[in-house]
Amino acid sequence: MSQISFEKLKLSQEIQLAIDSMGFTETTEIQKKAIPIIIEGHDVLGKSQTGTGKTLAFSIPAIELIKEENKDKVQVLIICPTRELTMQATHEILKLSKFKKNVVVANIYGGSPIEKQIFKLKTSNIVVGTPGRIIDHLKKRTLKLNNLKMVVLDEADEMLSMGFREDIEKILLNAPDEKQTILFSATMPIEILKLTKKFQKDPKLIEISRNKTTVESICQYYYNVPIGKKAECLKLLLLYYQPKLSIVFCNTKKMVDCISEFLKTNNFEAIGLHGDMQQNQRSSVMKSFKSGQTKILVATDVAARGIDVNDVDYVVNFDIPQNIEYYVHRIGRTGRAGKSGEAITICSGKTQVDSLIRVCRLIKSTIKEKKLPKIEDILKAQYKNNLSFIEEQLKDETNKDQYHKMTKNLIEKGYDPILIASVVLKNFFKEKDKILKDLKPIKCFTFERNIPERNFRNNRKYTKNNKIFENISINVGKLNNVDCNSVVRAIINKTQLNLEEIGKIKIFDKKTLVEIPKEKIFFALKQLKNFRICGKTASAISCKF
């Protein structure tokens, strides 16, 4: 991908300072092409997929456009299809404009108190909102577009598919004729071209070809593990896959410190990278990682901006990315320079899994669920990896040195060559063996979808660890956004049962069945008469035979 330094765009000093503080060094393709054209004042029709950096491509020129003389008037309007994208764009604009004293941003969307939005709109000069709520404010005359200089339509094809065409046209007709219109879309259906013809003046077309934005060379997987077991899961996966170079992404600096310390305690070559580190520390960390001296880099999204290492074979999302662009940026650290790569996300519960799947759908990518490797699988993988390493060393002619001579002397003294090799290998791999010695499997709870209630026997019994398990029924289910982890957490907190005393969980639309030991049914039901789960008040009853 052709990139240039942000400094070459000759942006204002305040914007450049903000970009530096965010950790950005080079533009993406869409930023490189769009920012100069938009700043020049041209209308733009941009075709680019989600996750290519469009938010910065229109936010930077929008902020640069704000003039002091009308600082309390709306000068830029950004229209997004969803509340989430509205919040994401607002968040980026706030970070980019933190050194610009005259920029005031308001975000307006449905589901939020309109009174608070009205108050914000009185002093804002950049407004980010969804079509429906923008129309609401135009009708109330709490949003005035008399001084509007720029309007941006983000994810225009998505807005049209959601039925917002009429609203968009109303908004654009309410805006002054002499305005700059920026339109970004992942696809170019006929409806988009009609909109362009009607509302744009000689727009400049910017198109980012598909092969520059997809992640087809990256295999994506996720693991769904109980809350509190993510670190142990990460440990098992690193032992199983044995990456040569890998990046583990966390959402916070504190988590970076915790995970890098956890990995070092468990004899992994890991090092952390985040924004609180001094520049010389950051340079030292990156030098160690790029040279391969440190195999695992644990980093935040901001700190990882600008990382350009071609040999990263695995990326692990320890925390779910905070937005789509972060996800694309993260997994794009592997599969570089024409190589394939693996991206793994560790989830806890249905909510996180559903969020991840939505992100992958938006970037038109596929992700598969995998089961955690068993201890025996890890031992086999380690054996295979160690064997491969020794075979490579045996082929290396430079290893015929003093140790080669020492081996010959031992054989001449009558020692068994196989025994000699075994002693050497045992000592060579003893550090790795330390990690494997105390490995324990992680018990994962499965979420079974689309189970027909009428075919399920409520009186299911089975024996485990010499205990008979039976079902209790809780009066909340999928319609209440319940997942297995929240069920387990709520039961343990309320009843003090052990994790091993909770059996299979089956979640239906309006109820959840949980298997627990028969001798604890009475006690559990007594404790679970009135408790909270996923923000809902719930109660449990015994299942009838």
Same domain? For 473 and 525 the reply is yes
CATH number (domain holding residue 270)? 3.40.50.300
CB 97 within 8 A of CB 63: yes
Over residues 260-289, the mean pLDDT reads 85
For the ranges 138-142, 222-226, 238-242, 418-422, the lowest mean pLDDT is seen at: 418-422
Over residues 188-198, the mean pLDDT reads 88
Q: Which residues pair with 298 in a beta bridge?
A: 248, 272
Same domain? For 207 and 230 the reply is no
Same domain? For 160 and 285 the reply is no
Q: Could you tell me if residue 1 is inside a domain?
A: no
Q: Could you tell me if residue 444 is inside a domain?
A: no
For the ranges 395-409, 445-459, 474-488, the lowest mean pLDDT is seen at: 445-459
pLDDT of residue 536: 81
Contacts of 298 (CB under 8 A, 6+ apart): 247, 248, 250, 256, 259, 260, 263, 270, 271, 272, 273, 318
The answer to whether residue 407 scores a pLDDT higher than 80 is no
Mean pLDDT of all residues belonging to the chain: 83
For the ranges 145-154, 455-464, 490-499, 531-540, the lowest mean pLDDT is seen at: 455-464
Same domain? For 136 and 116 the reply is yes
Q: Could you tell me if residue 35 is inside a domain?
A: yes
Same domain? For 186 and 222 the reply is no
CA–CA dist 389, 402 (Å, integer): 20
pLDDT of residue 455: 37
The helix (run of H) or strand (run of E) holding residue 536 is strand 536-538
Same domain? For 89 and 225 the reply is no
pLDDT of residue 111: 76
Listed residues 184, 212, 240: the one ending a domain: 212
Listed residues 187, 212, 237: the one ending a domain: 212
Q: Could you tell me if residue 446 is inside a domain?
A: no
- As for how many domains the chain has, the answer is 4
The answer to whether residue 545 scores a pLDDT higher than 50 is no
Report the percent of the chain where pLDDT is more than 70: 85
pLDDT of residue 1: 46
Q: Could you tell me if residue 496 is inside a domain?
A: yes
Same domain? For 396 and 329 the reply is no
Same domain? For 54 and 125 the reply is yes
Same domain? For 362 and 477 the reply is no
CB 317 within 8 A of CB 346: yes
CATH number (domain holding residue 487)? 3.30.70.330
Listed residues 151, 182, 212: the one ending a domain: 212
Q: What residue type is assigned to position 79 of the chain?
A: I
Q: Could you tell me if residue 442 is inside a domain?
A: no
Task: Return the higher-pLDDT residue of 361 and 513.
Answer: 513
Over residues 101-107, the mean pLDDT reads 93
Neighbour count for residue 53 (Cβ, 10 Å) = 20
pLDDT of residue 306: 55
CB 188 within 8 A of CB 205: no
Neighbour count for residue 82 (Cβ, 10 Å) = 15
Q: Could you tell me if residue 77 is inside a domain?
A: yes
Band of residue 466 on the pLDDT scale cut at 50, 70, 90: low
Task: Return the higher-pLDDT residue of 239 and 188.
Answer: 239
Same domain? For 352 and 470 the reply is no
CA–CA dist 73, 61 (Å, integer): 17
CB 92 within 8 A of CB 126: no
Same domain? For 89 and 199 the reply is yes
Q: What is the pLDDT of residues 20-54, one digit of tens each?
A: 888 888 888 899 999 999 999 999 999 887 667 88
CA–CA dist 479, 470 (Å, integer): 24
Containing structural domain, residue 529: 453-542
User: Taking the C-alpha atoms of 335, 339, 344 and 345 in order, what is their torsion angle to the nearest 10 degrees?
Assistant: 10
Q: Which residues pair with 195 in a beta bridge?
A: none
Q: Which residues pair with 79 in a beta bridge?
A: 129, 153
Band of residue 208 on the pLDDT scale cut at 50, 70, 90: confident
> DSSP E strands: which ranges in 116-245?
126-129, 150-153, 180-185, 204-207, 218-224
Q: What is the pLDDT of residues 117-152, one digit of tens each?
A: 999 999 999 999 999 999 999 999 999 999 999 999
Over residues 104-125, the mean pLDDT reads 91
Neighbour count for residue 276 (Cβ, 10 Å) = 12
pTM as predicted: 0.54
Same domain? For 306 and 432 the reply is no
For the ranges 224-228, 324-328, 449-453, 535-539, the lowest mean pLDDT is seen at: 449-453
Q: Report phi then psi at 444, rounded to 5.
A: -105, 140
Task: Return the higher-pLDDT residue of 111 and 98.
Answer: 98
pLDDT of residue 206: 92
């079509």: which residue's tokens?
A: 131
Q: Could you tell me if residue 448 is inside a domain?
A: no
